[in-house]
Amino acid sequence: MSNPDLINLRRKRLYIHKQLARYEPLVERLRASLEETNAAIQAICPDLNLPPRFHQPNRHFKRGELPRIVREIMWQAGGPIAVRTIALAALARKGVTLPGPGTMRHTRKLVRGILGRWETLGKARTVGRDKGTRRVLV
């Protein structure tokens, strides 16, 4: 046991166990408080639907991955391209060849948000109107 790396890792492990023991009672109290609060809300308004605790991460794209893919698709297009086409190409790059309507809608919304931010920064531009709307990089 003379390996200093192993000794340091064992110390770190012990430290983490002590931290867990210290914070677990606090977490339990917070969970109990949350349950009481939810029960009070439901008592006042039983038909109110409370939102889920956390936002669900995107199943197909990691954080920051979709803007990079959108930029690459738009560069390869070389001209104005529809948001739907961008969304389909992005999903195809991730191996989703036949996306469901929910997946397509969610991806289109994300792509529109990315392009909207780029438009405010002057990196992209909208060409056309209504169904003929296309986006192009500046």
Q: What is the pLDDT of residues 44-72, one digit of tens each?
A: 988 888 877 777 788 899 989 999 999 99
Q: Is the dihedral of CA 33, 35, 40, 41 positive or negative?
A: positive
Q: Is the pTM of this model over 0.75?
A: no
Positions of E strands within the chain: 124-127, 134-137
- Delimit the domains of the chain by residue range: 1-54, 65-137
Which amino acid would we find at residue 63? R
- HSE-up of 76 (CA within 13 Å, CB side)? 10
The answer to whether residue 1 scores a pLDDT higher than 70 is no
pLDDT of 40 > 70? The answer is: yes
Total residue count of the chain as it appears in this document? 138
What is the rounded average pLDDT for all residues in the chain? 91
In whole angstroms, what is the distance from residue 70 CA to residue 107 CA? 11
Which pLDDT value is given to residue 52? 74
Count the neighbouring beta carbons within 10 Å of the beta carbon of residue 126.
13
Domain 65-137 has what CATH class? Answer: mainly alpha
Question: Tell me: the pLDDT tens digits for 79-115?
Answer: 999 999 999 999 999 999 889 999 999 999 999 999 9
